[in-house]
Amino acid sequence: MTAFFLHPQGICETTEVGEGTRIWAFAHVLPGARIGRDCNICDGVFIENGVTIGDAVTVKSGVQLWAGVTLGERVFIGPNVSFTNDKFPRSKQYPSVYSRTTVGDGASIGANATILPGITIGIGAMVGAGAVVTRDVPSRAIVVGNPGGVVGYAGAVEVDASRDTLPEDYGASLVRLAPHVEPRGRLFVANDGVVPFTPKRFFLVDKVPNGQTRGNHAHQSSQQFFVAVSGQIVIAVDDGRRAYAITLSHPGIGVYLPPRIWSMQCGHSDDAALLVLASDAYNKPGYISDYREFCSISSRAA
Amino acid sequence: MTAFFLHPQGICETTEVGEGTRIWAFAHVLPGARIGRDCNICDGVFIENGVTIGDAVTVKSGVQLWAGVTLGERVFIGPNVSFTNDKFPRSKQYPSVYSRTTVGDGASIGANATILPGITIGIGAMVGAGAVVTRDVPSRAIVVGNPGGVVGYAGAVEVDASRDTLPEDYGASLVRLAPHVEPRGRLFVANDGVVPFTPKRFFLVDKVPNGQTRGNHAHQSSQQFFVAVSGQIVIAVDDGRRAYAITLSHPGIGVYLPPRIWSMQCGHSDDAALLVLASDAYNKPGYISDYREFCSISSRAA
Amino acid sequence: MTAFFLHPQGICETTEVGEGTRIWAFAHVLPGARIGRDCNICDGVFIENGVTIGDAVTVKSGVQLWAGVTLGERVFIGPNVSFTNDKFPRSKQYPSVYSRTTVGDGASIGANATILPGITIGIGAMVGAGAVVTRDVPSRAIVVGNPGGVVGYAGAVEVDASRDTLPEDYGASLVRLAPHVEPRGRLFVANDGVVPFTPKRFFLVDKVPNGQTRGNHAHQSSQQFFVAVSGQIVIAVDDGRRAYAITLSHPGIGVYLPPRIWSMQCGHSDDAALLVLASDAYNKPGYISDYREFCSISSRAA
Amino acid sequence: MTAFFLHPQGICETTEVGEGTRIWAFAHVLPGARIGRDCNICDGVFIENGVTIGDAVTVKSGVQLWAGVTLGERVFIGPNVSFTNDKFPRSKQYPSVYSRTTVGDGASIGANATILPGITIGIGAMVGAGAVVTRDVPSRAIVVGNPGGVVGYAGAVEVDASRDTLPEDYGASLVRLAPHVEPRGRLFVANDGVVPFTPKRFFLVDKVPNGQTRGNHAHQSSQQFFVAVSGQIVIAVDDGRRAYAITLSHPGIGVYLPPRIWSMQCGHSDDAALLVLASDAYNKPGYISDYREFCSISSRAA
Amino acid sequence: MTAFFLHPQGICETTEVGEGTRIWAFAHVLPGARIGRDCNICDGVFIENGVTIGDAVTVKSGVQLWAGVTLGERVFIGPNVSFTNDKFPRSKQYPSVYSRTTVGDGASIGANATILPGITIGIGAMVGAGAVVTRDVPSRAIVVGNPGGVVGYAGAVEVDASRDTLPEDYGASLVRLAPHVEPRGRLFVANDGVVPFTPKRFFLVDKVPNGQTRGNHAHQSSQQFFVAVSGQIVIAVDDGRRAYAITLSHPGIGVYLPPRIWSMQCGHSDDAALLVLASDAYNKPGYISDYREFCSISSRAA
Amino acid sequence: MTAFFLHPQGICETTEVGEGTRIWAFAHVLPGARIGRDCNICDGVFIENGVTIGDAVTVKSGVQLWAGVTLGERVFIGPNVSFTNDKFPRSKQYPSVYSRTTVGDGASIGANATILPGITIGIGAMVGAGAVVTRDVPSRAIVVGNPGGVVGYAGAVEVDASRDTLPEDYGASLVRLAPHVEPRGRLFVANDGVVPFTPKRFFLVDKVPNGQTRGNHAHQSSQQFFVAVSGQIVIAVDDGRRAYAITLSHPGIGVYLPPRIWSMQCGHSDDAALLVLASDAYNKPGYISDYREFCSISSRAA
């Protein structure tokens, strides 16, 4: 048993509590729960057996952690956040297996949010206060609303592509196509050289519901070029050090994405259609889809 | 006084607690509250005087039950659910009568839901996690969102009428009208015999706000025939044993409803218009509007 | 050869011209054309062989009647009206058979209208000045625009069903359904007796392009009841003596149609859907689809 | 130290508690918190140091008040309401300054509402149950939904300007402009004298997101005239004694606002555009933007 | 009888033909028609008795002028133009009075246009080739399409107010309002002095069907200020020497109109709403509604 | 002077008439006009000096050909077709130069059509009856309506790309991209090799007004790939022997266009956006923009 603080009016029935952790008044930890080091378990928190909590986690008042909840390191759980583990609860009817909820390292869940059963919340994600989370949350995604939808990328600088630029020393860049407005219509031309690679394939994405995301990966060696051919889309780009959330709302502006830049697309308007040109044929091993692995690669590269 | 369990750090000031009920730490039950048998009152729950709770009820942590709340049997109240009893609360101003909230037998209220004052929640209803309930909830209705709207019928199998059928041995049935598509427009004909009764009256329903329901009754002897003449509508049908939630989105498909099938309509699109043909003149006594009574009739009939 | 007038600077190469007919200057009638009595063939008109013209017809200046054109009695052809007889004309390429154009008794074609090949224009129809007629025109229909669409029924009194009534002694009538407007939506009920027959079948009509018509017949014995369940529709009714063009734009108003009333539907808005209840099973011989026959039946009945 | 009630199972570590205040079971007040007189601090409430609470305040169960929260007099905080003080919380990362939340005198916050960081809630405001408050709330505004939007003005009588009038003895008034409906369009004329002042300037407001408000001030001497030139807008007017929430949905109706009437605009439809005529040039000192000051001026004037 | 030219194969039965007029082959003028000096009546034209034609008029081939048609001076009638004088023509049925058509001085009617019965076409108007004119045409209005709608002002320079200016020495002028774009919406302020007069009244115009016009007058002494508060509108201004057709499509731009500038509004988009501020109370005698009178006043003033 | 037929009541003042040509009654040809061989000039046609007509041309009754009109070989001019040569005609005002109208070889103009000044009508084009032509007409384009818009390609087989295919031996082909329909949206991927060339540039075309065309050329060596990324577009393709009008209405289908296939795009829906990938950098000399030259190249190639 390690050295941790227990308020005289708190109850702790487990021995698996890390050093430096504090458990406050009217909190109640059941036997079998495992809590890491340097955590802060505030007044009135209730923790069931079968819960695992990493180091340096904060759990504010009014929170219950049910069997099946796993919190990574440095997770923040705001006051009155509600977890669940049964999709269709009925009194005295118990599912054979409870749904599991996992919150990734460094993620935060804002006050009074509700997490539906079976959700995984990615590394560094930010769930807004009062949100009702009904779908998995990608790494670093910001979720708000009821039902919760993704509205941004945590830590990203916002860039309006119709007005702003990216820093010159950043890997990704914005490319502007000259508009030709004629009586017969509007024309955008990207002559040879405008896109800094020879496209090997392209794809089109449309009908993405607002609040949903796509992408959430980087490429080992492939380059990409994004154009919002209709509507509005946010392209989040992240090189492991700096991140930008680029709003594209004009078919005459493209985003160039070199290898080893993580990207997430979100904020699609109803009429959004995204054209993506890629420098290479499809190559599944070339995808980096684990954000933790991406961070380790990008820090080695730096 | 019956035999029930009280955690040493719980407070129970009433004697009206049923056998087998457990009251956990930091819970507080005031004098005058009445709690049934085999209930589970979790950590930190607060129950005022004037509250009545049926048998086999579960109340999860972080819930307060105010004077005026009545819970039926086998009710499930998720964590941090909030009840209210004053529509326009002001500090130190007390309404002459507090609003009453009633939760029907077998109903469940998901985590962190909010129940506005004066609401009745029907038998077997399911309030989704995080929902804010602003209107009465029909029996077996599923409610989600803020404000809460009905999106389904608990326990019903989903049927897309444009693709699926109902079982042949089920009382209600789908009827398909052959479409005649011509340059001059589209025509659906229901010749004599297609509808299995001679209609005595018909009615049209439109402009139903999304999230609202209609119906919520069965008929003793009247038969009905439903057609979504424009837009999309969900027709839930329930014979007391099996229930189906039928999505109608095409004017060429009708639902035939024999007597003694309970029905609820929900999921109306903005442009939804429902035509109902009925086999009999209006007859108020022929309505079965109490779901409990319907269940008892349908089980006798079986 | 009969007694007709030929202007000294007109040319008439046929002998088949009825008594009392006048042919004016610079008109040119080819051999083989047949012209009825009391016609007026104005300056500059050109009439090919193979044309048949009834009695009491007026053809204004600047009109050419090509082989294949047949005009009934009392037809009016305005100035510069253009007929055609080849759908895809190319110089020096001749179709094996020329398209035929028929204009019914009493019909009028306004100045400068264009009639595409192969068109039949019904009895008493009215083609507006400058219209381009691309489809057959029902009896008494009024056509305007390019392309021409039906906008009314010649000689009908306009009735706005949301405000006006039909005369009490008229066979067809308007039936108003009491609306029940509730927070849960809007309901119109037609209880037993409101519709003056027991419906044997019903049909729904939607997606009728604006400018198109449906109906254009009467029934020997069947009764009908029309409701515009969504959008707006014009129901023209005609008992052979009086005609009304009833605009329906509200689902709470129905048109009752007894036997032997001719009806045409037109003026469909994009979202128009028409419900028709019928008193009898489908019976093809019971249709009166020839307006001339209808007039003879209705005048016998009167 | 004053005479206040502390439940035996409550914890109170401050001495700054006013007379008549009650602190109930499992509540926990930290040292340094200041609580006024006649307050009610219910079961399970947690109050940090640095919190200031006025007199006659009610805090229901399941509420935490963090450092930086200030409640005025007669404030009502419903059960499970969640406050916050860090906009982008991360575990073990502490902002140099916590955001401050201020709740004005007489305001109420409904059950389970969530208040984002740094929010000021105005005097007499009413936050609905389950609302997620993301913006400052003007005095007497009623807020509901997620995200919270303003839907009304607390205590105001609802006036539909297309049907109702204001009392004759009230300062503000409705002015109707005669419509001229012609085949060529619709015309509204406000001849000289219709507006009871000579406009010195005008402004147009459009594209106000639904749920937002404008105004929230009175003028010392300037008069104004409001017309909803398109769409629908609610104009709340308040003379300090009586308040009206006027729905304008027709360009032919104006609201005349004399000096010293407080006004808030809300409920803008997507296409709403508001024209405001003003009797004076812009004059910043003439604005009364503090509702408390307005109340004191209007009561002196009465 | 005056000296005019008649082609040997033309027929002229009237003596009322002005000096210098030429009548060409296959043309036919009936007795009683009156034709001015220096006219050109081309091949195949037919002119009935009761027609009056001013001086210096051109009538191209294939045109018929029916009884009731009056052409002013310097009128141009293109080839195959069709006039009418019976709204609902039926063969052998003659209206008691034929509709009259008047074409103002200097107006032109393009090739193959159709003029419905009873139309007045204003001074200097321009009817486009192929147009079907169903309504009176204001002075100098340009009409195209089927049905014909006004699309411009003959002889006006086109001005896009969002980009162009008016000449500095012109009476009317454009006034730009600075936009304030804020999170709470968009605001345009016209402080004291921006509008160069003190408005005595204002009016709003909306729901003008596209193709219709308003205005078509000048004021003796009143000044006006136009703002398109929503949608797009064309404001034609004309000082008798120079004319501009100003497209307004932004609520931040106004048109100032001094006295004695003729104005016509046209080209309204579906959502167009026009705000007009006026310097004076309504004063009917101050209107100059006759374009001929306006020209005489403006030339005296110059 | 050659041997041609002149009706005794026709007038021909030119000597430049080809052998086998017939000129009918009331027709009038001025000196200086030039008419080819085997033409048919019908009753009442008027031809000015300065007109040039190719061989084997048909001009139906009621047509005038003004100075500046040139008709190619095998042209068909329907009855009452109106030509023009002055954009803004005013009586007694003569433009310094009249607009010229050119009708290409094999083109047809339907009855009562109106051709505005300065128009060029391409080889093999088809102008529908009653159309008002306001813009140049590309080769083989089919034009209808007022104003006239392109609706098809004369002689092309209609292909619905969502259902039909092109013949395997045809140069152009349809390429289908596999759709990935997921809860997160719809994805179309064109992997390497799907497009049979490496794109050197791409362009996007949107906001093309309905009725307009683009393309109307072939390439000497460049290949192209068309995708309707939103909305619907018709791609006409023509190898000089067979032509297809391909309706694209789905972003998952592309049209591959090899060199030396002529293409015209038309039928754009309001929301149409066309993506074009091209195999080569822009190269003006590689364009074949003259349909006559294209036909000669394609027949040499065959």
pLDDT in tens, C182-241: 777 788 888 878 898 988 888 889 989 999 999 999 999 999 999 999 999 999 999 999
User: Which of residues E281 and A233 earns the better pLDDT score?
Assistant: A233
pLDDT of residue B188: 86
Q: How crowded is residue A94: how many other Cβ atoms within 10 Å of its Cβ?
A: 9
**Beta carbons of C84 and F75 less than 8 Å apart:** no
pLDDT of residue C100: 97
Question: CB-CB: which of B28, B91, B132 is closest to D56?
Answer: B91
Q: How far apart are CA E146 and CA E133, in angstroms?
A: 8
State the pairing for strand pair C141-144/C120-121.
unpaired
Chain E positions touching F92 (Cβ under 8 A) are 38, 56, 58, 74
Residue C50: HSE in the Cβ half-sphere, 13 Å Cα cutoff: 14
Phi-psi region of E194 (alpha: psi -120 to 50; beta: other; left: phi over 0): alpha
Q: Three-state SS for F293?
A: helix
B32: its two tokens: 């005058």
pLDDT of residue D195: 87
Q: How far apart are CA B161 and CA B251, in angstroms?
A: 11
Euclidean distance between the first and final Cα of chain C, in Å? Answer: 41
User: Which of residues B112 and D204 earns the better pLDDT score?
Assistant: B112
Question: CB-CB: which of A26, A75, A132 is closest to D26?
Answer: A26
Question: CB-CB: which of F82, F88, F146 is closest to E126?
Answer: F88
Q: Which chains have 3 or more CB–CB distances shorter than 8 Å to chain D?
A: A, B, E
Q: How far apart are CA F185 and CA A207, in angstroms?
A: 5
**Beta carbons of A60 and D62 less than 8 Å apart:** no
Q: How far apart are CA F9 and CA F12, in angstroms?
A: 10
Per-residue three-class SS string for E199-215: CCEEEEEECCCCCCCEE
User: Which of residues F290 and E252 earns the better pLDDT score?
Assistant: F290
Q: Which chains have 3 or more CB–CB distances shorter than 8 Å to chain C?
A: B, E, F
| Closest approach of D272 to chain A, Cα-based (Å) | 22
Q: Between D and E, how many residue pairs show a Cβ–Cβ distance under 8 A? A: 117
Give the residue numbers in E contacting C (CB under 8 Å), as ranges.
11, 26, 28, 44, 46, 62, 64, 80, 82-84, 88-92, 112, 114, 116, 132, 146-147
A242: its two tokens: 């700096």
The residue among D13, D45, D61, D91 with the most chain A CBs within 10 A of its CB, best to mutate, is D91
The residue among D201, D224, D248 with the most chain E CBs within 10 A of its CB, best to mutate, is D201
A34: its two tokens: 């495992």
pLDDT of residue D232: 95
Q: How crowded is residue B268: how many other Cβ atoms within 10 Å of its Cβ?
A: 27
Q: How far apart are CA F215 and CA F233, in angstroms?
A: 12
Residue B25 pLDDT more than 80?
Answer: yes
Question: CB-CB: which of F76, F112, F146 is closest to C89?
Answer: F76
pLDDT of residue D241: 94
Give the residue numbers in C contacting B (CB under 8 Å), as ranges.
177, 183-192, 194-195, 198-209, 212-214, 227, 229-230, 251-252, 268, 271, 273, 275, 277, 280-282
Chain E positions touching C74 (Cβ under 8 A) are 90-92
Which of A180-189, B172-181, C29-38 is the least confident region? A180-189
The residue among F132, F135, F143, F144 with the most chain E CBs within 10 A of its CB, best to mutate, is F132
Q: How far apart are CA F50 and CA E154, in angstroms?
A: 30
| Closest approach of F273 to chain A, Cα-based (Å) | 8
Share of chain C above pLDDT 90, in %: 83
pLDDT of residue B155: 95
Question: CB-CB: which of E43, E74, E130 is closest to F28?
Answer: E43
| Closest approach of F264 to chain C, Cα-based (Å) | 20
**Beta carbons of C204 and B251 less than 8 Å apart:** yes
How sure is the predictor about F144, in pLDDT bands with cuts at 50, 70 and 90?
very high
Q: Which of E202, E251, E272 is nearest to D175 (CA)?
A: E202
Q: What is the mean pLDDT of chain A?
A: 93
Q: Which residue of E has its CA nearest to C132?
A: E146
Structure confidence by residue, pLDDT tens digits, E87-137:
999 999 999 999 999 999 999 999 999 999 999 999 999 999 999 999 999
B125: its two tokens: 């209803």
Q: Which residue of B has its CA nearest to D109?
A: B89
The residue among B59, B85, B114 with the most chain D CBs within 10 A of its CB, best to mutate, is B114
Average pLDDT of F280-295?
Answer: 91
Question: CB-CB: which of A25, A38, A130 is closest to D114?
Answer: A130
Q: Between E and F, how many residue pairs show a Cβ–Cβ distance under 8 A? A: 80
Q: How far apart are CA A267 and CA C188, in angstroms?
A: 42
Chain E positions touching C55 (Cβ under 8 A) are none
Question: CB-CB: which of E83, E91, E147 is closest to C75?
Answer: E91
* Phi, then psi, of F269 in degrees rounded to 5: -70, 165
pLDDT of residue B240: 94
Residue E2 pLDDT more than 70?
Answer: no
How sure is the predictor about E168, in pLDDT bands with cuts at 50, 70 and 90?
very high
pLDDT of residue A2: 63
User: Which of residues C41 and B182 earns the better pLDDT score?
Assistant: C41
pLDDT of residue E285: 86
Q: For E135-284, where are the E strands, in sequence order?
A: 141-144, 149-153, 157-160, 173-176, 179-182, 185-190, 201-206, 214-219, 224-230, 233-238, 243-248, 253-257, 262-266, 273-278
Which of D138-142, E236-240, E270-274 is the least confident region? E270-274
**Beta carbons of C58 and E26 less than 8 Å apart:** no
Average pLDDT of C44-71?
Answer: 97
Q: How crowded is residue F202: how many other Cβ atoms within 10 Å of its Cβ?
A: 25
Question: CB-CB: which of E28, E62, E132 is closest to C80?
Answer: E62
pLDDT of residue A68: 94
Average pLDDT of F291-300?
Answer: 90
E212: its two tokens: 């219709």
Q: Which chains have 3 or more CB–CB distances shorter than 8 Å to chain E?
A: C, D, F
Residue B213 pLDDT more than 90?
Answer: yes
Residue A1 pLDDT more than 60?
Answer: no
Angle at F225 between CA F224 and CA F230, to 5 degrees: 135
Q: Three-state SS for E34?
A: strand
Structure confidence by residue, pLDDT tens digits, A78-126:
999 999 999 999 999 999 899 999 999 999 999 999 999 999 999 999 9
Chains F and A are touching, with contact defined as 3 or more CB–CB pairs separated by less than 8 Å: yes
Q: How far apart are CA E30 and CA E47, in angstroms?
A: 6
**Beta carbons of F202 and A190 less than 8 Å apart:** yes
The residue among B23, B88, B91 with the most chain D CBs within 10 A of its CB, best to mutate, is B91
Share of chain F above pLDDT 90, in %: 78
The residue among A202, A213, A268 with the most chain F CBs within 10 A of its CB, best to mutate, is A202
Share of chain B above pLDDT 90, in %: 83
How sure is the predictor about E190, in pLDDT bands with cuts at 50, 70 and 90?
confident
DSSP per residue, A44-93: T-EE-TT-EE-TT-EE-TT-EE-TTEEE-TT-EE-TT-EE---SS-BTTB
Q: What is the mean pLDDT of chain B?
A: 94
pLDDT of residue A281: 81
pLDDT of residue E302: 58
**Beta carbons of A89 and B78 less than 8 Å apart:** yes
Q: What is the mean pLDDT of chain C?
A: 94
C284 DSSP assignment: G
Q: Which residues of C84-119 are buried (b: 16+ CB within 10 A; e: fewer)?
A: bbbeebbbeeeeeebbebbbbbbbbbbbbbbbbbbb
Question: CB-CB: which of A76, A112, A145 is closest to D91?
Answer: A76
Identity of the residue numbered C64: Q
Q: How far apart are CA D53 and CA A3, in angstroms?
A: 37
Please, what sign has the CA dihedral across residues F278, F282, F287, F289?
Answer: positive
Chain F positions touching A251 (Cβ under 8 A) are 204, 206, 273
**Can you list the residues of chain D whose pLDDT is less than 50?**
none
Residue E181 pLDDT more than 80?
Answer: no
Structure confidence by residue, pLDDT tens digits, B246-280:
999 999 999 999 999 999 999 999 999 999 999 98
Structure confidence by residue, pLDDT tens digits, B42-61:
999 999 999 999 999 999 99
**Beta carbons of C76 and E89 less than 8 Å apart:** yes
Q: Three-state SS for E239?
A: coil
Residue C1 pLDDT more than 60?
Answer: no
Average pLDDT of C91-103?
Answer: 94
Chain E positions touching D198 (Cβ under 8 A) are 198-200
Question: CB-CB: which of F62, F108, F129 is closest to C132?
Answer: F129
Share of chain C above pLDDT 70, in %: 99
Share of chain A above pLDDT 70, in %: 98
Average pLDDT of E182-206?
Answer: 80
CA-only gyration radius of chain B, Å? 23
Q: Which residue of E has its CA nearest to D279?
A: E192
Chains E and D are touching, with contact defined as 3 or more CB–CB pairs separated by less than 8 Å: yes
B218 within 8 A of B290, measured Cβ to Cβ: no
Tell me: cis bond preceding E147? Omega within 30 of 0 counts: yes
Chain F positions touching C89 (Cβ under 8 A) are 76, 78, 108, 110
Average pLDDT of A142-167?
Answer: 95
Q: Which of F78, F71, F66, F67 is nearest to F56 (CA)?
A: F71
pLDDT of residue D182: 66
Share of chain B above pLDDT 70, in %: 99
Q: Which ipTM value was assigned to this complex?
A: 0.93
**Beta carbons of E280 and D200 less than 8 Å apart:** no
**Beta carbons of C208 and B184 less than 8 Å apart:** yes
**Beta carbons of F80 and C80 less than 8 Å apart:** yes
Q: How far apart are CA B297 and CA B288, in angstroms?
A: 9
